[in-house]
């Protein structure tokens, strides 16, 4: 039972345009959500997070939106750059939990 | 550099064998987490230790075991290896015992079982 799903395994975007990566979750106990970025041969690195008390969090070119009623979150990257090409994982945790549950990842390719 | 060190980076072994993966967390971090990533899939949580004690358990097989030592480094032991155990094994660390915050990941240990 996948509690966190990223239904798009890959996404291709032109440099300068917006990249939108989506994530759905099923566990209503999740109250904290994170996005990680992973380059080949490296470990995942934290990108941005959002608490369930918010519906938006912004950090430079990266914005995460949370729709609790739909159990959906998205990561917007504007403008996209070739260096953003990586695999993006969304993850979630519950206040009472001790671990992050990850989605399957979306491979983003930003074309020059 | 996340500050989390994993060894070995690559390991090739045969079915039925046993291997040990090692992780040194960031300085000051008390929690260590182990994750498995198979074939470009998501990261599957295996187990968490906090200050030497097991804190949470995920989908970890009985053939796998882990421990965290007094110096806070951790080892993941994989025994009676099967072809399906071939995967990237990531270690991550955090300051506290709860994962509702940032985890810092190592570069992973790639295990190939032939």
Block means of pLDDT (10 residues each) for chain A, length 112 residues?
A: 90 97 95 93 93 94 97 98 96 77 95 94
Residue position matching structure tokens 């990586």: A86
Residue B41 reports pLDDT greater than 80: no
Q: What is the pLDDT of residue B40?
A: 64
How close B46 gets to chain A, by Cα (Å)?
Answer: 10
The candidate with the shortest Cα–Cα distance to A111, out of A89, A79, A88, is A79
How close A17 gets to chain B, by Cα (Å)?
Answer: 26
Residue B62 and residue B39: Cα distance in Å, rounded? 21
Q: What is the pLDDT of residue A98?
A: 61
B110 to chain A, any CB pair closer than 8 A? The answer is no
CB A90 within 8 A of CB A104: no
CB B106 within 8 A of CB B5: yes
A57 to chain B, any CB pair closer than 8 A? The answer is no
**Overall average pLDDT of the B67-71 stretch:** 96
Residue position matching structure tokens 């039972």: A1
Residue B106 reports pLDDT greater than 80: yes
How close A15 gets to chain B, by Cα (Å)?
Answer: 25
Q: What is the pLDDT of residue B67?
A: 97
A25 bridge partner residues: A4
Q: What is the pLDDT of residue B80?
A: 97
Q: What is the pLDDT of residue B100?
A: 58
On the 0-12 / 13-18 / 19+ scale of CB atoms within 10 A, A42 is middle
Q: What is the pLDDT of residue B97?
A: 66
- Between B40 and A108, name the one with better pLDDT: A108
The candidate with the shortest Cα–Cα distance to A49, out of A26, A85, A23, A19, is A23
Which of B:53-82 have CB within 8 Å of A? 55-56, 58
CB A74 within 8 A of CB A21: yes
A110 bridge partner residues: A13
Coil/strand/helix, residue B73: coil
């Amino acid at each position: 039972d996948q509690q966190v799903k990223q239904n798009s395994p890959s996404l291709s975007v032109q440099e300068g345009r917006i990249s939108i990566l989506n994530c759905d979750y099923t566990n209503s106990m999740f109250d904290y959500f994170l996005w990680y970025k992973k380059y080949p041969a490296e470990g995942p690195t934290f990108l941005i997070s959002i608490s369930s008390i918010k519906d938006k969090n912004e950090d430079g070119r990266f914005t995460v939106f949370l729709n609790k009623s739909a159990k959906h979150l998205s990561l917007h990257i504007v403008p996209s750059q070739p260096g953003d090409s990586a695999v993006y994982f969304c993850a979630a945790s519950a206040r009472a939990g001790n671990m992050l549950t990850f989605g399957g990842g979306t491979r983003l390719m930003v074309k020059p | 550099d996340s500050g989390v060190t994993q060894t070995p980076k690559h390991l090739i072994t045969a079915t039925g064998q046993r291997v040990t993966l090692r992780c040194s967390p960031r300085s000051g971090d008390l929690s260590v987490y182990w994750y498995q990533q198979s074939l470009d899939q998501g990261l599957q949580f295996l187990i968490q230790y906090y200050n030497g004690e097991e804190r949470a358990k995920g989908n970890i097989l009985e053939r796998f075991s882990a421990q965290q030592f007094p110096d806070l480094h951790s080892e993941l032991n994989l025994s009676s290896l099967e072809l399906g155990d071939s995967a990237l094994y990531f270690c991550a660390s955090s300051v506290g015992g709860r994962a509702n915050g940032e985890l810092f990941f190592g570069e992973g240990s790639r295990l190939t079982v032939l």
